[in-house]
Amino acid sequence: MHLLTLLRPAAYLDPGSGSYLLQLLVAAVLGAGLAVRMYWGRIKTIFGRKNPDELTENPTDKPDELTDKPDEQ
């Protein structure tokens, strides 16, 4: 293992190594879930089955740029 370089110089809170790594993992799963729900919403829209919860203002956005709240689980 090398130097501890997790912290940006500006960050005053210690995110904690274990918390940092776990967060990356959990967020990857949740991000994938969110992306799937976004795309699924769009596929349904394309085939004319509008789901009002999953409407986005700009359907050409990539999910990465979406800041709208997705539907709740």
Q: Which residues bind another protein (CB under 8 A)?
A: 1-6, 8, 10-13, 15-24, 26-35, 63-67, 69-70, 72-73
Report in angstroms how near the CB of residue 50 gets to another protein at its nearest: 22
Report in angstroms how near the CB of residue 25 gets to another protein at its nearest: 8
Q: Tokens 């992306």 sit at which residue?
A: 35
3 vs 48 by CB, closer to another protein: 3
Residue 34, token pair as written in the block: 């969110």
47 vs 73 by CB, closer to another protein: 73
Query: With 0-12 CB in 10 A as exposed, 13-18 as middle and 19+ as buried, what is 58?
Result: exposed
**Rounded CA gap, 71 and 73, in Å?**
7
Report in angstroms how near the CB of residue 62 gets to another protein at its nearest: 9
